[in-house]
């Protein structure tokens, strides 16, 4: 039984203005110290953001220029093609990452947190309601991100391992097996948590970006004409000169910004300032130098277009560079896997998915979690992708759609936020958003052309995820409606009990229910079968706010209904663990006298069976029943003491 419903989310009272966002993110960055301590903390956050936030986008130089030249069918005769493609790569980084995310979207934080669901929550606050289209947009965004989380490890690790063919030409038959070995080891390691190894992520990625920058600088001198690519006119000329053919190239050019969403999604972990400083101080310069160096090397050696990144590395450094690239690919994969866990946790908290088992892998870092079922789905999917596509070139066709779709959704939500919450004039909103949206739609269209070549993979993955979420939301709403038909008003039941006076037993009982106005099924079953009532009864409803966290002052709302009944509504943030016993301790501070160590918790365990003509199509009914069976145990989900939980069974025909 899922005690939370999508409609239960509460709306925060204050809108999140840019000024508020600055204050919230400052708190997230932990800038409470002064002097050297403050600088040391900032440096640590910058290093951490380089290791986690920029892992995905940092591996793009392995394949972005290579795939763009491949789709351009460059034959080494026209230097302007290289200028144009490199210019497209650089200015895509400027427009999408620097302007959109670093300067604009990162201002829209929900109490320091970012990501698609945080943006959805901010828009919900601005609209003061939760329209169906907003839920739909959020669901599609989640689904696309999950599809990206499957493709990124396969693409990154394959690209890195393929570099070994330049060290040992006979290595080619081992590319797929070695890739699978790395990926399986990576996913099996997730249950241990990354706290112990994540300390190395930042230094490794700094070395990676530094190596890319040095390699780029070494080869810009191969043909300094590549500096023409810094002029955006060459990008425009390439698009106009090649017409429809350039549309195919754009699908590969977009690979340069895969991972750009991480800047916003991971903002809550590191804060806005460290992520911005890392981008401007190291990541963007390193990426730019790498693409310029690759372009100059290709101009000087046209045959290197088949893989400019590895071919421009000196032979004596090739093996260390392949090892470093593989480490960077693993880190990029780890970052997106961790992001998938966080996204799924938020979706569960918001009632979009059934309860999933969540394990905390760190005693000091709350955000480090492990979700066994999600991990297994990701691992199997990545393995299938590697075996099916076998090379990063073939997989590149499947890579862009999920990312472009997610970015388009972010831009649309940002427009609503700028207009409704930040009260920007319509002309300013259009002037800022339309150019970005136009470019992203161009990229989306270019990637959709590659549907047949592999682009169908993220579409199928996202569609499947949307179907699962839609079925769960519709099923839970249907069950709630059916339960309401036979429900008894809580106040009416209390009045009946005052007259009938059932046998009273000492102690406190906690009954969890979705609807605070109706009598919990577990309470009714306890009265019917056991014919007893505890001397004190808490009717508890768990809801989820559209903010990442909720303060203790707003955690619970209590209402005494009679001498024996108290109604409590608990509110948790969508990134918090719903710890019911801990929240109940707040009731003691507000005057309720009970011993939490001897309190009994009553849960209603529903099982469903099929019934004809009860509202859901047969296929959706079967899917919903399957999802409900896979839901994690409510005892663990709500952090209840297992030795004091009483489950009352109920079978319902749907």
pLDDT on residue 30: 42
Task: Give residue 255's domain range.
Answer: 59-473
Query: Is residue 97 a part of any domain in this protein?
Result: yes
pLDDT on residue 282: 96
β-partners of residue 9 are none
pLDDT tens, position by position, 508-524: 999 999 889 999 989 99
Average pLDDT over residues 167-196: 90
pLDDT tens, position by position, 541-582: 999 888 888 999 999 999 999 999 999 999 998 888 899 999
- Identify whether residues 492 and 559 lie together within a single domain: yes
Query: Is residue 37 a part of any domain in this protein?
Result: no
pLDDT tens, position by position, 72-85: 887 767 889 999 99
Asked if residue 368 lies in contact with residue 338, where contact means CB atoms within 8 angstroms, the answer is yes
The percent of residues in the chain predicted with pLDDT above 70, rounded, is 92
- Identify whether residues 154 and 284 lie together within a single domain: yes
Give the integer Cα–Cα distance in Å for 463 and 575.
25
Q: Which of the four pLDDT bands, split at 50, 70 and 90, describes residue 17?
A: very low
Q: Which of the four pLDDT bands, split at 50, 70 and 90, describes residue 208?
A: very high
Query: Is residue 101 a part of any domain in this protein?
Result: yes
pLDDT tens, position by position, 451-486: 888 888 888 988 999 999 999 999 988 888 887 777
Query: Is residue 10 a part of any domain in this protein?
Result: no
Give the integer Cα–Cα distance in Å for 423 and 412.
16
Q: Which of the four pLDDT bands, split at 50, 70 and 90, describes residue 633?
A: confident
- Identify whether residues 532 and 427 lie together within a single domain: no
pLDDT tens, position by position, 390-420: 988 888 878 788 888 889 999 999 999 999 9
pTM, full prediction: 0.79
Looking at the predicted structure, is the pLDDT value of residue 19 above 60? no
- Identify whether residues 463 and 499 lie together within a single domain: no
Give the CATH number of the domain where residue 90 resides. 1.20.1740.10
The chain-wide mean pLDDT, for the chain, equals 86
pLDDT on residue 423: 92
pLDDT on residue 33: 39
DSSP labels, 407-466:
HHHHHHHHHHHHHHTS---HHHHHHHHHHHHHHHHHHHHHHHGGGTTTTHHHHHHHHHHH
The SS3 assignment for 540 reads strand
- Identify whether residues 71 and 97 lie together within a single domain: yes
pLDDT on residue 233: 96
- Identify whether residues 460 and 513 lie together within a single domain: no
Helix, strand, coil distribution of the chain in percent, nearest 5:
65, 10, 25
- Identify whether residues 325 and 397 lie together within a single domain: yes
Domains in the chain, number: 2
Last residue of a domain, one of 473, 505, 527: 473
- Identify whether residues 555 and 463 lie together within a single domain: no
Asked if residue 205 lies in contact with residue 58, where contact means CB atoms within 8 angstroms, the answer is yes
- Identify whether residues 424 and 552 lie together within a single domain: no
Query: Is residue 442 a part of any domain in this protein?
Result: yes
């Amino acid at each position: 039984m899922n005690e939370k419903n999508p409609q239960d989310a509460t709306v925060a009272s204050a809108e999140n203005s840019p000024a508020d966002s600055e204050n919230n993110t400052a708190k997230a960055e932990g800038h409470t110290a002064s002097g050297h301590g403050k600088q040391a903390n900032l440096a640590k956050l910058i290093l951490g953001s380089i290791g986690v936030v920029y892992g995905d986008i940092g591996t793009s130089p392995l394949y972005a220029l290579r795939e763009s030249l491949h789709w351009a069918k460059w034959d080494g005769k026209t230097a302007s093609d290289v200028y144009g493609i490199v210019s497209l790569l650089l200015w895509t980084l400027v427009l999408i990452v620097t302007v959109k995310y670093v300067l604009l979207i990162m201002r829209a934080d929900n109490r320091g947190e970012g990501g698609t669901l945080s943006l959805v929550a901010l828009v919900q606050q601005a609209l003061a309601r939760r329209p169906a289209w907003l839920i739909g947009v959020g669901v599609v965004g989640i689904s696309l991100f999950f599809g990206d989380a499957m493709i990124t490890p396969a693409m990154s690790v394959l690209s890195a391992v393929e570099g070994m063919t330049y060290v040992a030409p006979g290595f080619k038959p081992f590319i797929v097996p070695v890739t699978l070995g790395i990926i399986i080891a990576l996913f099996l390691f997730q249950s241990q948590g990354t706290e112990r190894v994540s300390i190395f992520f930042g230094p490794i990625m700094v070395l990676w970006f530094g190596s890319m920058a040095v390699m780029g600088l070494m080869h810009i001198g191969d043909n300094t004409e590549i500096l023409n690519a810094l002029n955006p006119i060459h990008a425009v000329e390439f698009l106009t000169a090649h017409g429809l053919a350039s549309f195919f190239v754009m699908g590969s050019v977009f690979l340069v910004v895969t991972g750009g969403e991480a800047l916003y999604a991971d903002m809550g972990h590191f804060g806005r300032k460290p992520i911005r400083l890392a981008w401007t101080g190291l990541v963007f310069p390193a990426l730019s130098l790498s693409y310029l160096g690759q372009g100059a090397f290709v101009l000087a050696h046209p045959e290197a277009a088949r893989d400019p990144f590895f071919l421009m590395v000196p032979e004596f450094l090739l093996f260390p560079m392949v090892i470093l690239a593989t480490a960077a690919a693993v880190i990029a994969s780890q970052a997106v896997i961790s992001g998938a866990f966080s996204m799924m946790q938020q979706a569960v908290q918001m009632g979009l998915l059934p309860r999933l088992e969540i394990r905390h892998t760190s005693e000091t870092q709350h955000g480090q979690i492990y979700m066994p079922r999600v991990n297994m789905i990701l691992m199997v999917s990545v393995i299938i992708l590697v075996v099916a596509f076998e090379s990063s070139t073939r997989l590149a066709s499947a890579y862009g759609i999920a990312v472009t779709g997610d970015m388009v959704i972010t831009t649309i939500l940002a427009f609503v936020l700028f207009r409704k919450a930040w009260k920007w004039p319509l002309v300013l909103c259009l002037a800022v958003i339309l150019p970005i949206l136009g470019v992203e739609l161009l990229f989306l269209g270019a990637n959709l052309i590659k549907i047949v070549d592999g682009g169908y993979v993220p579409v199928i993955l996202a569609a499947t995820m949307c179907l699962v979420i839609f079925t769960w939301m519709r099923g839970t709403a249907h069950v709630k409606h059916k339960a309401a038909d036979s429900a008894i008003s809580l106040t009416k039941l209390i009045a009946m009990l005052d007259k009938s006076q059932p046998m009273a037993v000492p102690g406190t009982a906690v009954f969890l229910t979705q609807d605070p106005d109706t009598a919990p099924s577990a309470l009714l079953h306890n009265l019917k079968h056991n014919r007893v009532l505890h001397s004190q009864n808490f009717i508890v409803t768990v809801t989820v706010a559209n903010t990442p966290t909720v303060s203790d002052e707003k955690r619970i709302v209590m209402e005494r209904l009679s001498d024996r009944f108290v109604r409590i509504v608990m509110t948790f943030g969508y990134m918090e663990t719903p710890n019911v016993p801990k929240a109940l301790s707040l009731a003691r501070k507000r005057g309720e006298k009970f011993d939490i160590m001897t309190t009994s918790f009553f849960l209603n365990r529903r099982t469903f069976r099929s019934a004809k003509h009860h509202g859901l199509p047969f296929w959706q009914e079967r899917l919903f029943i399957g999802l409900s069976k896979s839901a994690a145990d409510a005892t663990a989900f709500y952090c209840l003491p297992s030795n004091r939980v009483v489950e009352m069974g109920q079978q319902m025909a749907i």
